[in-house]
């Protein structure tokens, strides 16, 4: 069995899809240099003026936060540093049963273009998988500003049996299977917000 078959958060693979050859920023900038429309597209990706937001950080993609958003609340979960991830694991977030919500991920891409970013998430209750999400985020060029992607809305379960603690594993990955961040956290579904 491959490691991907053992990984509960392995992305789905499309039959016949092959990841393109990896090129650095300079190589991408030189491709089809005479094509005005392609140059305009490359400019929109920031390939000609990429600045590093965190020059001391070796990561290409720096995931800053996962944000839970509902009509009543926004809960920003900081995942920008290992210490922040560790703190998040200690404190579950509270969600009101039956609320409509979305997740938004905030991140910075620096140094290189990243293709096929995906957000994967699996939710378990008492060790049993109850939900799995895989959302394509797209390809991004380096940009000093934070970038974000909001995912489709969901509805929290409700009722006496649905209340309790849910353990969540989240992963941010690209087409090359480079894992930019993988973390665990938990949420408690309660009758009311606290």
Spell out the residues 6+ positions from residue 183 whose beta carbon is closer than 8 angstroms to its own: 79, 85, 88, 89, 169, 170, 171
- Span 167-190, mean pLDDT? 95
CA angle 61, 66, 68 (to 5 degrees): 160
- CA torsion sign, 136 to 138 to 142 to 144? negative
Q: Tell me the pTM.
A: 0.80
- Span 93-110, mean pLDDT? 95
pLDDT tens, 36-90?
A: 887 777 676 666 556 788 999 999 999 999 999 999 999 999 999 999 999 999 9
Higher-confidence residue of 155 and 143: namely: 155
Q: Please, where are the H alpha helices in the chain?
A: 3-6, 25-30, 36-44, 82-90
Say what the pLDDT of residue 40 is.
Answer: 76
Phi-psi region of 138 (alpha: psi -120 to 50; beta: other; left: phi over 0): left
- Span 163-186, mean pLDDT? 95
Say what the pLDDT of residue 131 is.
Answer: 94
Name the least confident of 6-15, 69-78, 108-117, 137-146: 6-15
Say what the pLDDT of residue 91 is.
Answer: 92
pLDDT tens, 5-45?
A: 456 777 666 566 565 566 665 666 666 677 788 777 767 66
- At 126, is the pLDDT very low, low, confident or very high (cuts 50, 70, 90)? very high
Q: What percent of the chain has pLDDT over 70?
A: 80
């Amino acid at each position: 069995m491959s490691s991907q078959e053992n990984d509960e958060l392995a992305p789905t693979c499309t039959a016949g899809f092959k990841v393109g050859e990896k090129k650095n920023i300079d190589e991408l900038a030189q491709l089809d240099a005479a094509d005005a429309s392609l140059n305009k597209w490359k400019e929109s990706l920031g390939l000609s003026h990429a600045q590093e937001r965190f020059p001391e950080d070796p990561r290409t993609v720096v995931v800053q936060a996962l944000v839970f958003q509902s009509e009543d609340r926004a809960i920003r979960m900081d995942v920008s540093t290992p210490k922040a991830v560790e703190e998040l694991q200690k404190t579950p977030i509270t969600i009101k049963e039956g609320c409509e919500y979305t997740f938004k991920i905030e991140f910075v891409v620096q140094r290189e273009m990243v293709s096929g970013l995906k957000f994967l998430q699996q939710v378990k209750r008492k060790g049993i998988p109850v939900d799995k999400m895989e959302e394509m985020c797209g390809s991004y060029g380096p940009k000093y500003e934070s970038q974000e992607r909001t995912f489709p809305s969901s509805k929290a379960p409700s009722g006496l049996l649905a209340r309790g603690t849910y353990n969540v594993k989240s992963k941010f990955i690209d087409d090359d299977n480079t894992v930019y961040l993988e973390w665990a956290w938990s949420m408690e579904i309660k009758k009311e917000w606290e």
